[in-house]
Chain A
Amino acid sequence: MIDITVPQDLWDTEDEGVIFVWIYADGALVEQGKLIAELTVEKAQLELTAPASGRLKILAPAETIVRKGTVIGRIEPP
């Protein structure tokens, strides 16, 4: 099991972002490295990829405000 954390290097500033959309539904099987969510930070749509393969557990739904380091989900065993 591994946390899905908003990466520290996803954007440069300390601004907050918001989860715009989860590409996969809660419980879906996802592959490591594939796009699983889009975040909006200022005037940019940023891509969040799966840190591991497994079953997606969404903890923070779309429209949640996040910071770098926020845990927004988990990859659980398939």
Chain B
Amino acid sequence: MKPTPQQRIWMYEAMLKSRRFDDAVFQAYWEGKKPVFHMGKGPLPGEMHQSFGQEPTAVGICVHLGPDDAVGAGHRPHHVAIARGVNLERMAAELFGKKTGLSGGRGGHMHLYDNSVNFFCSGIIAEGMGPGAGMALARKMQKKPGIAVAYNGDGAVNQGAFHEVMNMAALWKLPFVCVIEDNKYAVSVTTQESTVVPAWKRAAGYDCPGEYVKGNDPDLIFEAAARAVQHARDGKGPAILELETERLHGHFIGDSAGYRSKDEVAAQKDPIPLYRKRLLDEKVLTTTAMEALEAKVQQEVDAAMKFARDSEYPAPNEALQRVFA
């Protein structure tokens, strides 16, 4: 099944919003961290794992999801959060550690949660597998519609949790889609160096479908995702969807990725200009409409960043609140 023009425009807009957001965050991150790079300094402190190049994996799947569904992401969540419809202002505020953030500043960039769209993150590799499958289990137990999707990196497939949860999800036919973003690197270690059989091939070991989509192309991801999502919605159990993608920057801001060769880095393709060109060439959008869309996205991102900067920090002793319900 191919995406409609509306769906393609939606995907482009979400990818662009993620990219422009990450651009703005990148700029802000370096404030206060020059000339000496101290991670804890500046308005955007801490680690920052950005999604440059990985935007297609978020939109190609989230385009098929609705309010009944649940999505979990890992430590590189921005593109997934934005595709899922997480409130952008509150997301930006959370990164800045402000009181108005999604979690009032308690979680930060790796721990974005928005219960209004059933979205959560986890900062430990593969840790989101269990909770994602658990949200699928809840829907099955409650006899409510909806599936759960958990995003993981290529490195996560070698954590025990991946295997444990896939086995149980398949055993219990949970409406769960396990997404692997293969950006080819787990920090500095390539999938070739770490993984003897990739996740999508292991699906046979869980008696569930597994598909690998090459090309980092939203339209191709859309098609494969439609299959995986429908499989889960039909009550047939989980599916593994492994998506080739590109990590255009280092693992986190500050990682110069010296372990990658210059040729390899130069050969990487940025999916967003490619998709933009395709939409214009195929006349899905006119240039005028495209520019208007891009201006609108930029405004939203600017507004979110302004909201974040203008918001107050929490009172220090708010640290003591919310340990327990």
Is any CB of A less than 8 Å from a CB of B in the complex? no
Report B's interface with A, CB cutoff 8 A: none
